[in-house]
Amino acid sequence: MWVIDLENQGYAQTFGNPSADTYLARTLPRMGALLENYYAIGHSSAANYVAQVSGQPRT
């Protein structure tokens, strides 16, 4: 399994214009799953990565 995390850009900037990056916006989602409405639990990247892989909920 692969997980691709994209940081510092919103959903619209990353996936809103498929012609800007067809592979990212169309090809990869068809090959796997695109999780929409998946939000960070904090400001720090490290805390978000730990929460992502450990399944810890937002407190």
Determine the Cα–Cα distance for residues 3 and 53; give it in Å rounded to an integer.
10
Determine the Cα–Cα distance for residues 37 and 17; give it in Å rounded to an integer.
18
pLDDT at 58: 62
Per-10-residue mean pLDDT, the chain, length 59: 78 79 86 80 83 73
Determine the Cα–Cα distance for residues 44 and 8; give it in Å rounded to an integer.
11
Annotated domain spans of the chain: 11-54
- Locus of tokens 């692969």: 2
Residue ranges of alpha helices (H) inside 1-59 are 11-15, 22, 28-31, 45-54
